[in-house]
Amino acid sequence: MTSRLARRIAASFLLASAFLFGRAAGQAPPAASSIDRIASEFMLLPNIVYRTANNVPLKLDLYLPPNRKPPVPVVMLIHGGGWVAGNKEEMGLWALPYLAMGWAVVNVEYRLAESSPAPAAVEDCRCALGWILQNAEEHGLDPKRIVTTGASAGGHLALTTGMLTPAAGFDRGCQAKRTMDYWGVGAAPMPKVAAIVNWFGITDVAGMLEGGRDARGYAIEWIGNASNPVALAKSVSPIDMITRGTPPVLTIHGDQDPWVPYSDGVRLHEALQKAGVPNELLTIAGGKHGDFSSAENDRIWTAIRAFLRKHGLPAS
């Protein structure tokens, strides 16, 4: 993809965002002629290889907002699909609300279960976080204002990416020129993820294994033929990662979700409360696995902006 085409695609995304948010606020949409101005200010850097694993180059897309004054806050988007399907491209439009707020966006792909079972996806997303930290200065990103977000399996990976530390051992395979610098080994402590926005993410992987309370085929496939599947599942379960140092968490979950039990969100909320971690559970009454109504999405994004502001993060 040429730089000019990439910029125009990105600018189109921003225009769509401006139209949607302008309409919601009762404002007139921008003139189509403004696309050239926006294209000159906005930047999309697609398919950056952040890691090679199992001989597979893993890529991310970096969106940089117009009129940016570095360092800018950055959100890391992670797609869903039960760790067995999906791709980063389906998350492209999820960037819009953050771009409209002046954030940078990093949209990440990771290895799926068919080629690489657990904990590969967790390792990949931790490495993508490392890439953000390593390249923050070059791209004008603020390493102290990183938010992770995703839906379903992406919500799970947003949680694990933000909750884990290098001590857990999932970061050893990350390819970085300055590992000592960005993980803070032997230097300053690694910057924490500032907050996590979890859209109906899996929080108890062990409970989804065969014979478990909420068994799900996709979780069984992702864990694969591990010699001790329960131990592996617990090692990648956010419900078992909570400490007092866990970043603030906003969970959005429909109480009629057929794919990820609503109880996962409730139990996470209760465990975070018990540990003294700032968090909120936004319940969508009658909501299923996403596909929320316009009114419900308006309510969700109002809550997300309030949550970000509450924790010192910009949200227009």
Average of pLDDT values for 117-143? 96
Using one digit for the tens of pLDDT, what is the confidence trace for 188-243? Answer: 446 689 999 999 999 999 999 987 778 999 999 999 999 999 999 999 999 999 99
Q: Mean pLDDT lowest for which of 169-183, 256-270, 302-316?
A: 169-183
Q: In this model, does residue 155 exceed pLDDT 80?
A: yes
In a domain, 81, yes or no: yes
Instruction: Pick the closest to residue 103 from 42, 45, 161 (CA basis).
Output: 42
In a domain, 129, yes or no: yes
Q: 135 with 216, same domain? A: yes
Q: 107 with 210, same domain? A: yes
Q: In this model, does residue 41 exceed pLDDT 60?
A: yes
In a domain, 316, yes or no: no
Do 236 and 252 contact (CB within 8 A), yes or no? no
In a domain, 315, yes or no: no
Q: 256 with 171, same domain? A: yes
Q: Please, how many CA atoms are within 13 Å of residue 186, restricted to the half-sphere of its CB? A: 4
Angle at 102 between CA 96 and CA 107, to 5 degrees: 50
Q: Which residues contact 48 (CB under 8 A, 6 or more apart)?
A: 59, 60, 61, 62, 131
Q: Which residue, chain included where needed, has tokens 């001790």?
A: 228
Q: Return the sign of the alpha-carbon dihedral for residues 86, 315, 72, 251.
A: negative
Where does the pLDDT of residue 266 fall: very low under 50, low under 70, confident under 90, or very high at 90 and above? very high
Q: 11 with 76, same domain? A: no
Backbone angles phi, psi at 17, to 5 degrees: -65, -45
pTM of the predicted model over 0.85: yes
Q: 152 with 78, same domain? A: yes
Check which CATH number belongs to the domain holding 213 and give it. 3.40.50.1820
Percent of the chain with pLDDT over 70: 82
More confident residue, 5 or 238: 238
Rounding to the nearest 10 degrees, give the CA dihedral for residues 92, 260, 207, 283. Answer: 110
Where does the pLDDT of residue 3 fall: very low under 50, low under 70, confident under 90, or very high at 90 and above? very low
Q: 2 with 83, same domain? A: no
Q: 152 with 242, same domain? A: yes
Q: 97 with 118, same domain? A: yes
Percent of the chain with pLDDT over 90: 74
Q: In this model, does residue 144 exceed pLDDT 60?
A: yes
- Percent of residues in the chain assigned helix, strand, coil, to nearest 5: 40, 20, 40
Instruction: Pick the closest to residue 66 from 88, 27, 35 (CA basis).
Output: 35
Q: 100 with 145, same domain? A: yes
Q: 213 with 167, same domain? A: yes
Q: How many CB atoms lie within 10 A of CB 19?
A: 16
Average model confidence (pLDDT) for the chain? 87
Which domain does 21 fall in, by range? Answer: 1-36
> Residue 278 and residue 291: Cα distance in Å, rounded?
27
Label residue 290 left, alpha or beta by phi (over 0 means left) and psi (-120 to 50 means alpha).
Answer: left
Q: 23 with 162, same domain? A: no
In angstroms, how far is the first alpha carbon of the chain from the final one? Answer: 31
In a domain, 18, yes or no: yes
Q: 113 with 130, same domain? A: yes
Q: Is the peptide bond before 238 cis (omega within 30 degrees of 0)?
A: no
Do 266 and 281 contact (CB within 8 A), yes or no? yes
In a domain, 141, yes or no: yes
The number of distinct structural domains making up the chain is: 2
Structure confidence at residue 67 (pLDDT) = 84
Average of pLDDT values for 239-253? 97
